[in-house]
Structure 1
Amino acid sequence: MILRPLERAFLPRSAGDGACFLLIAVCVPLTYMFQVTVIMPELHDVGSFWYTAVWLAGIFLVFNITSNMLACMLVDTSIKLHILKPPVDSHLLSRWHMCDACQTLVPPRSWHCEICNVCVLKRDHHCRFTCCCIGHHNYRYFFYFLLYMGLGALYVSINASIYLWYLHADYYWRPYTLLTVFVPALSLTVHASWENFYVVLYELNLLAFCMCTLLLVYHRPIFQRGAVMKERSTSKYDLGLRANMEMVLGKRMHLTWISPFVRSDLPHDGVNWEPATKEE
């Protein structure tokens, strides 16, 4: 695994990348503080078993959200990762193609990203929230980033629903408060208060859960077929579910859910791909 220089990893390449990254960088710690300091003391006795268990689970989720996000950004999955030497074998060489932007021969399943300005090995897509492309070497971290973000947002949304609409129903079940649910900006401009700020955080978590769920559902068949977004209509690299999962999560895939720091080497270098079927 090779890491990108910090100035390239953390410097957004567009205004959209910067805005999406800032949204995650600000909202994740704010949501955790909202959960721990506001919601949990009203749902569980401070210091009780369930309070401690939920607190530890929250730390685990926040750790995996942030660390997998950072791993996505830091792990280099571009063609610069290797000193690319086109294969001598004509059969393998025929699968390579010329990138006009990079002015070089690039391996199969590598495509150029206009935002990153580089070709990416087994490129899936450019992720706005991590400010980088998702490809062969960092797809694992993108998958867990989405999974843990969705789980965390779901848990906070459920607890916040109990807090807002049940424990404090006398305040939140009012026409004005219900209106701010549909017009969030109104709550912080017309009548700024902590109570209205909680509604905004609640809505952001609902939005995060919906987005993560939709992305996971969209990527599921692609993931299962061992493909990427540009190959979503084909199955020519499908090696079977277990082998496809290993190609993304590595040889120790059963342990990768614990942390991005768990080493799990990929069975392929991401360069010379050959179809598993005769489909071209």
Structure 2
Amino acid sequence: MNIRINIFPKCIRDAFVTGFLFVIMPVVYYFEMFVVLPKYYKQWSAWYNFHFVIGTTILFNICSNLIAIIMCDTSIKGRVLPTDLKPDWRFCSVCESVAPPRSWHCEVCKVCILKRDHHCMFTSCCIGFENHRYFLIFVFYMLIATLYASYYNMKFIKNFVTFDFSWTSIFKIVFPLATLFMEWTQNQLFIFLILIVFFGAGFSGALLYFHIDLMLRSVVTYERNTVSKYDKGKLENIKLVLGDKWYLVWLSPWIKSKLTCDGINWDKMLSLKEK
């Protein structure tokens, strides 16, 4: 894996969204582990410890895969590329280099990305050939975490958060962040965090469904309305993203899992498919 040298956000939007993610994750973790969970289980009891270990393991996988996404350089920088234009290759005038099929130039990252899927504002970098695996697993654990937390949060807000069915209360739920700045109370902070987790579950669920569908069809986002030339069947398509140890990579980002292509020579994949 090539390591990115400049990992800092390159635009204000990325800086805000990535910064918010890095702040909200530990805040939500503290809220769930030390505010919500003790309402159901005595702190440091057997059941509390059980859920605490599960929650911490999920957070570890979220954070470690997030760091792997950011640190992985999936651009054409430092790659040995030919000087002549092969079929489906192109010349990037900005990078002043030829670029292989399925790569595309990112206006934010200022470089061509191998098998570029999209630019992710939550990580301030592009999702491409080598960090696609970490992105999928990151979203997977975000969905698990938010669904897990939402189950307890729904009971928590019902039993322990004061709420009356008035227009003021409805406004606080519809605009939780704005209300939080106007009325900084513990009750409103709890509502804000619970809604963040709830909407996070919906967003990560839709995102995971969308990207798993793309992976199984062996297409990236800008190819989603086309039939892939690189479709070798669902299992091989999974290996192209998750590697040959696809059944183990969900455990840790440090598990080595060799990808079935180098992200450059897609013509070799086509010839193998023809055989």
| Same fold per superposition (TM over 0.5) | yes
- The answer to whether the aligner puts 1:110 opposite 2:110 as a matched pair is no
The gaps in structure 1 that reach 5 residues or longer are none
In structure 1, the residue matched to 2:56 is 59
Deviations 1:39-75 (A, max 9, x none): 1111112233221111011111111111111111101
In structure 1, the residue matched to 2:198 is 206
CA shift at 1:276, angstroms? Answer: 4.2
> Following the alignment from structure 1 to structure 2, what is the Cα–Cα distance between the partners of residues 86 and 221?
35
> Following the alignment from structure 1 to structure 2, what is the Cα–Cα distance between the partners of residues 50 and 246?
37
In structure 2, the residue matched to 1:98 is 91
> Following the alignment from structure 1 to structure 2, what is the Cα–Cα distance between the partners of residues 126 and 187?
32
In structure 1, the residue matched to 2:265 is 272
Equivalences for 1:42-81 in 2 at 5 Å?
A: 42-81=39-78
Superposition RMSD in Å:
1.9
Residue 220 (structure 1) aligned to one of 212, 219, 225: 212
- The answer to whether the aligner puts 1:129 opposite 2:126 as a matched pair is no
The gaps in structure 2 that reach 5 residues or longer are none
> Following the alignment from structure 2 to structure 1, what is the Cα–Cα distance between the partners of residues 222 and 177?
37
CA shift at 1:186, angstroms? Answer: 4.3
Question: Using a 3 Å threshold, how does the CA distance of structure 1 residues 85 and 276 change in structure 2: closer, same or farther?
Answer: closer
> Following the alignment from structure 2 to structure 1, what is the Cα–Cα distance between the partners of residues 125 and 177?
30
- The answer to whether the aligner puts 1:29 opposite 2:26 as a matched pair is yes
In structure 2, the residue matched to 1:172 is 163
In structure 2, the residue matched to 1:251 is 244
Give the fraction of aligned pairs with identical amino acids, expressed as a percent.
35
In structure 1, the residue matched to 2:255 is 262
Deviations 1:105-154 (A, max 9, x none): 11111110010000011110000000000000000000011111111111
Deviations 1:61-94 (A, max 9, x none): 111111111111101100014122247xx8xx22
CA shift at 1:253, angstroms? Answer: 1.1
What is the SS of the residue equivalent to 1:94? coil
CA shift at 1:190, angstroms? Answer: 3.1
Normalised by the size of structure 1, how large is the TM-score?
0.91
> Following the alignment from structure 1 to structure 2, what is the Cα–Cα distance between the partners of residues 160 and 240?
40
Query: For residue 21 of structure 2, what is the amino acid of its counterpart?
Result: I
Q: Say how many residue pairs are matched.
A: 270
In structure 1, the residue matched to 2:229 is 236
CA shift at 1:159, angstroms? Answer: 1.0
Contact 2:115–2:263 (CA under 8 A) maintained in structure 1: yes
What is the SS of the residue equivalent to 2:56? helix
CA shift at 1:101, angstroms? Answer: 1.6
